[in-house]
Copies of this chain bind each other. A is one copy, B any other.
């Protein structure tokens, strides 16, 4: 069942300014872009560069005045969705080199500090079963409160305050996973059912599927429970929210509006 995406946003730039955007469904094997249309205002410069881990693209603009982005796409998702709890831990030395950075602390995910908590709270669990327990712990102990966090809020803040939005739930999941030596990254997605409708964020962990030879792979985890990995359309990945904002301004911008709609195509 394809997923229909309609996203638009606009902003005003009072002088020529560089802006970085990342808002399109990534062209990767697990999701097929059936159709897509992207309308952008005229820019002095427009450059596309591959985004992190080669997943999706970043769009650099240099523009001035009112700038509008309108994006529509129909995407068919076909990823493998093994039962999380049945996945195996990979000892760090067995990890592919490119996943190693996802073991380290990042801007919003100071994982090292959570080692004692993780060891005590989730003793005797490992791999996918551990990740599932972490997801359930976050889901059970946090409340989803729009407006309760800001761009300085780290997983440490959220862990103490026990609340946040998808960004914060994901930061806590990523942090707990890394504290257990499991590579974890932040994934920006389109997903139906998110309330209020918006860009969504989930975690992704690197675990092994023993039914597959050399089976290490990334697996999606949504601690908010709002979205189903079967219907998530990936936009980009990063160490945490610092890496995958849909819009980063290198100067001043006046944000004007944003509208994101994601539906299961009938």
Contact = CB atoms under 8 A, between A and B. Distances in A.
Contact of A160 (B45, B50, B113): B113
Contacts of A36: none
Contacts of A159: 160
Interface residues of A, number: 53
Interface in A161-187: 161-163, 181
A97 interface: yes
A215 to B, nearest CB: 18
Interface string A41-52: 000011101111
Nearest to A114: B160
Interface of A: 18, 20, 45-47, 49-52, 58, 60-62, 91-97, 100-101, 103-107, 109-110, 112-114, 116-117, 120, 141, 143, 150-152, 156-157, 159-163, 181, 238-239, 242-243, 250
Please give me the 8 A-B residue pairs with the lowest Cβ-Cβ distance, nearest first.
Answer: A49-B97, A60-B93, A18-B92, A116-B162, A105-B242, A105-B107, A104-B242, A181-B250
